[in-house]
Structure 1
Amino acid sequence: MRERSGNPPGRRPLRRALVAVVGTLALAATATAVTGPSANATVPPPPSGWTQVFADDFDGAAGSGVNTANWQYATGTGYPGGPANWGTGEIETMTSSTSNVSLDGGGNLRITPRRDAAGNWTSGRIETKRTDFEPPAGGKLRVESRIQVPNVTGAAAKGYWPAFWMLGGPYRGNYWNWPGVGEIDILENTQGLNTVWSTMHCGTSPGGPCNETSGIGGSTACPGATCQAAFHTYRMEWDRSTAVEEIRFYVDGNNFHTVRANQVDATTWANATNHGYFIILNVAMGGGFPDAFGGGPDAGTQPGHSMLVDYVQVLSSGGGGTTPPPSGGGRDAYAAVEAESYDAQSGTMTEGTSDSGGGRNLGALANGDWVQYKGVDFGSTPATQFKARVASGAPAGVSGLVEVRLDSRTSMPVGSFAVGSTGGWQSWRTIPANIGAVTGTHDVYLTFSSGQPADFVNVNWFSFGR
């Protein structure tokens, strides 16, 4: 989402340069927004040629929290060990309280800033557990949401900063590699203005090839009803099928901003895009972006105005599939299973690998993380061996177990092996282990356990043997 000027934050930035372009980039769009809250609206079906890889329609009882299989709460005033105030200068404390983040019972998520009697602000920030959203090679990725930003304007809106955005997967657990790992802001709004800003962040800060901390941004007015008065659909399409890779931004189907790979050098683009992303929804109060438009919050700012989110959906189209839909099974236990081809996961990310054969590897694996591979066929002759291609750049004293479980991630392991540093996160070794005899077809879970919280292993592929 942002960052404060001159700092190495981890969110989106202050858009000094955007102040001058708000008016010139506004479009006279013709699409009509749907006014009023949605009444149990459903996620729209994928268009022809697209496959759904993630969706949440936020249906549920009023006052309940989000689905924690899909989302995790980011709480406090920054990531542990990361920049203060989320790297942006915002002043609220993020919480997991349903007073700040809850379902409204009508098919919407509510993120609501609140101020207590002492003048302290709280709000909410949720992030997808998945960090692997990227287009397949030669294909496209679409990330969209139908949102009504807080319906407050004028002096009462001073300091409001709602956003729908994405951060490069390698940011999770590092928190100091922004903006090099990339940030894609699909929707930012501030001060109750009838404007949507969309921005890509990359390169180095301050300055650099991507003009940080402002980034490569564009803006437009919400078509029809204002951003505050109605729901609008905000979308990003990341396209690897074109001669020059590009990221396009839309509101209600109108493409108002495009960022192309040839706008920056090849290394900057690769560092920002050769990995997956995770999705973030939040409402900040104060910080660099509101400061560029008059500051706040102040005594006149009204708390309690919610950002409403009808749904979030991720679609994939074409290509070879680096963000594959679940396979549903049919895997051969005795052929190499690519680690990034999982059917479900928690806490992981994917990245480009320098290992033999190239492709992707599963990374940032730490205590409590897991991945699932459905329908692995062991046949009628028992498998008794397991091997995995692993790498680790963990510091001295940090190690853990890679465990193999069948049909449930909480079942007893049928085998495991220990791994510590191999000399680097791309220094690959094949490590064997014995397992209890396995026949038939099973869902295989790899689980990761460690006595330390730090990442301890990457996995490129695994297979079984007799």
Structure 2
Amino acid sequence: MRKTPTPSAPPRRGRLRRTLLALASALSLAAAGASAAQASAPPPPSGWTQVFVDDFDGPANTGVNTSNWQYATGTSYPGGPANWGTGEVETMTNSTNNVALDGNGNLRITPRRDSAGNWTSGRIETNRTDFQPPSGGKLRVEGRIQMPNVTGVAAEGYWPAFWMLGAPFRGNYHNWPSIGELDIMENVQGLNRVWSTMHCGTNPGGPCNESTGIGNSTACPNTTCQSGFHTYSMEWDRSVSPEAIRFYVDGNNYHTVTANQVDATTWANATNHGFFIILNVAMGGGFPDAFGGGLDGDTQPGNPMVVDYVQVLSAGGGTTPPPTGNRDAYSAIQAESYDGQTGVSTESTSDSGGGQNIGGLANGDWALYRGVNFGSTAATQFNARVASGAPSGVSGLVEVRLDSRTNPPLGSFAIGNTGGWQSWRTVPANISGVTGTHDVYLTFTSGQSQEFVNVNWFNFGR
């Protein structure tokens, strides 16, 4: 969620809330503040690999590609802080009235106000939560965006943003800012400025000066942020020491955060996991209020944030970052704290201790937990807290794999109906002995297509 920054400081975007030396062609276009969409994202520079892209091509007045994006709707995450934790007033929808392709290679996120004065807008997030640099390498996240083209009194309350949240936030919604937030582009009130910020640590105060965070801002070059497209990017560099996260507009590096600016634990908690990407336009809230607020009848609805493309590039290092040992194998690992997943949903649990469980689990689904430390004495047992309301005859395997989803399982157990989707039991399984630090995958395998299990937590034993 975002919190309320001071007017002289960068915003707090958060849920509580590219990078750089881009291709010469991309930079020249951005520097010119071109006002039309490109045909597609620029090809990766030499040494870089494209790991995600959306050019927002498609027929006019259609929604986003849901294989890439999911809609966040309403006024909060399920069970999360009200008003997205920031005080913003809009209701987010999945309507093409708020979130739609324009047929010319752009995405438009458009705030609307009805006759009763109620605001709606749009917020989309990548399904993927695993964006992070490889060990010893770099990650670049970039988007070519035109901010809502409105200024002055008519722009009061506008808050467009392009940003990222740490994967452990998804499904928890109460662990901000410790899990990290990287704001690549934020703007308020139609001002000709772009803010970038890293949020981390504790709130309020702490090593990252929350809820303001560690940030900076600059004016958009050549054309204003509102009157033209600009390329906003973040480069996360693990090839240097100290590790660095750099923020750019049109190739101009105007803000850098390095690991030695905070203590090692704060940095590790904020960065030793994947991230997901968010695009949204909020109305009102703490950040606009810090610069005068004024969201009222004079504010002009219908001005979209226009997104030409979003892409993610990776360079150098190995294929995945090494596990960092930040999870204890022998303590309960909350299932909703995954670093990546496919097919997983979260919900409130009635199990002892409350919180959330993961559910909707069926054949082929999986969840990733990075950096599980087993120590030097081998773990030989796996325990999981599970429940199932699967129909008679439907069951499946809960499997444990290390470091790759394609590696053979260390062990598994079968589970069928336990008496209901919130009827919990702890099920043990023997596993091949394991020591050291590993990424752990829970994989779910069944001969049927139906959902067959929920998981609240798991751990290992000797």
Cα gap change, 1:389/1:247 in structure 2, threshold over 3 Å: closer, same or farther?
farther
SS in 2 for 1:35: coil
User: Deviations along 1:32-91, whole A, 9 cap, x unmatched?
Assistant: 2333231x5201111111111111000000000000000000000000100000000000
For the aligned residue pairs, the C-alpha RMSD in angstroms reads 3.6
* Post-superposition offset of 1:119: 0.1
The residue that corresponds to 1:216 in the other structure is 214
Contact kept in structure 1, 2:57 and 2:106, CA below 8 Å: yes
Give 1:430's aligned amino acid.
I
The residue that corresponds to 1:201 in the other structure is 199
Contact kept in structure 2, 1:88 and 1:287, CA below 8 Å: yes
The residue that corresponds to 2:61 in the other structure is 63
2:382, 2:320 → 1: CA distance? 19
* Post-superposition offset of 1:430: 2.9
Contact kept in structure 2, 1:125 and 1:281, CA below 8 Å: yes
The residue that corresponds to 1:18 in the other structure is 9
Give 2:415's aligned amino acid.
A
User: Deviations along 1:195-248, whole A, 9 cap, x unmatched?
Assistant: 000000000000000000000001110011000000000000111110111100
The residue that corresponds to 1:417 in the other structure is 414
Cα gap change, 1:368/1:61 in structure 2, threshold over 3 Å: closer, same or farther?
farther
Cα gap change, 1:210/1:429 in structure 2, threshold over 3 Å: closer, same or farther?
farther
The residue that corresponds to 1:335 in the other structure is none
The residue that corresponds to 1:237 in the other structure is 235
SS in 2 for 1:18: coil
* Post-superposition offset of 1:18: 1.1
- Match of residue 360, structure 2, among 367, 374, 383: 367
Contact kept in structure 2, 1:101 and 1:112, CA below 8 Å: yes
Q: 1:331-342 residue pairs with structure 2 within 5 A?
A: none
1:82, 1:17 → 2: CA distance? 29
User: Deviations along 1:127-165, whole A, 9 cap, x unmatched?
Assistant: 000001011111111000000010000000000000000
* Post-superposition offset of 1:3: 1.8
The residue that corresponds to 1:293 in the other structure is 291
Cα gap change, 1:177/1:103 in structure 2, threshold over 3 Å: closer, same or farther?
same
The residue that corresponds to 2:108 in the other structure is 110
The residue that corresponds to 2:431 in the other structure is 430
SS in 1 for 2:204: coil
Give the structure-1-normalised TM-score: 0.72
Contact kept in structure 1, 2:177 and 2:202, CA below 8 Å: yes
Contact kept in structure 1, 2:186 and 2:194, CA below 8 Å: yes
Identity %: 63
Report the count of equivalent residues.
372
The residue that corresponds to 1:53 in the other structure is 51
SS in 2 for 1:167: strand
Contact kept in structure 1, 2:362 and 2:444, CA below 8 Å: no
- Match of residue 317, structure 2, among 316, 319, 325: 319
1:428, 1:198 → 2: CA distance? 47
1:204, 1:68 → 2: CA distance? 33
* Post-superposition offset of 1:258: 0.3
User: Deviations along 1:223-279, whole A, 9 cap, x unmatched?
Assistant: 110000000000001111101111000000111000000000000000000100000
* Post-superposition offset of 1:297: 1.4
Cα gap change, 1:174/1:110 in structure 2, threshold over 3 Å: closer, same or farther?
same
Cα gap change, 1:136/1:398 in structure 2, threshold over 3 Å: closer, same or farther?
farther
SS in 1 for 2:9: helix
Give 1:300's aligned amino acid.
D
The residue that corresponds to 1:305 in the other structure is 303
Contact kept in structure 1, 2:10 and 2:212, CA below 8 Å: no
The residue that corresponds to 1:258 in the other structure is 256
Gaps of 5+ in 2: 12-26, 323-337, 347-356, 367-379, 400-411, 417-423, 433-442
Cα gap change, 1:19/1:74 in structure 2, threshold over 3 Å: closer, same or farther?
closer
- Match of residue 124, structure 1, among 122, 127, 131: 122
Gaps of 5+ in 1: 6-13, 21-28, 325-339, 350-363, 374-387, 405-414, 432-443, 461-466
2:103, 2:212 → 1: CA distance? 37
Cα gap change, 1:289/1:450 in structure 2, threshold over 3 Å: closer, same or farther?
same
SS in 2 for 1:165: strand
1:369, 1:259 → 2: CA distance? 41
1:341, 1:264 → 2: CA distance? 23
